[in-house]
Structure 1
Amino acid sequence: MLKVLIVDDEVLERKALTKIINGCSTDVRVIGEARNGRVAIEMTLQERPDIIFMDIKMPGIDGVQAVREIKKIDSSIRFIMVSAFNTFEYAKLVMQQGVKEFILKPSRKQDILESLQRVSAEILEERKRINEEQNLRKNLDRAVSIAGKEWVNTLLMNQVEDLTFDEWGELLGVEITYGYMMLFSLQEAVDLEHFIKDKQSWYLWLKESLKLVVKKYELMVGPFIDTQVPVIFLCRKTTEKIHFKTNAINIIEDICHLFQKEFFHAELRVGVGLPYANASELYKSYHEALSALQQLIKVPNQKFLFGNHEGNTEISTSTELFETEKQLLDALRQGDVNQVSVIYEQFVRQLSFNQQNNPKMISKSFDELFILVSRMLQDLGISYEQTPTINQSEDIKILFEDGKTYLLSVVRHVQDWRNNHAKSMLQKAKEYIELNYAEAINLELVADYVELSPFYFSKLFKDRFGMTFIDYLTKVRMKQAKTEMLDGGKSLKEICYSVGYKDPNYFSRVFKKHTGLSPSEFRKAIVS
Structure 2
Amino acid sequence: MSLLKILIVDDEVLERKALTKMINSSFGNVTVIGEAPNGRKAIEMAREHKPDIIFMDIKMPGIDGVQAVKEIKKSDPGIRIIMVSAFNTFEYAKEVMQQGVKEYILKPSRKQDIFDSLLRVSSEIIEERKQIEEQKSLKENLERAVSIAQKEWVSSLILNQVQDITFDEWSQLLGVEITSGYIMILSLLPLEKDDFQLNDKQNWYRWLKNFFKSDFKNQEVLMGPMTETQVPVLFLCKQTPETVHFKTLAQGVIDHLLAQFQKSHINAELRIGVGLPYSHGHEFNKSYHEAVSALNLLLKTPNRKYLFASKQGAAELPTASDVREVEKKLLDAVRQGDLNQVMFIFDSFSAKLAVNDGLKAPMVKKSFDELFILISRMLHDLGIHYEKSLEIKESKDTSDMFDMCKSHLLSVVQHIQVWRNSHAKGMLHKAKEYIENHYADSITLEQVADYVELSPFYLSKLFKERFGMTFIDYVTEIRIKQAKIEMIDASKSLKEICYSVGYKDPNYFSRVFKKQTGLSPTEFRRETVS
TM-score (norm 2): 0.49
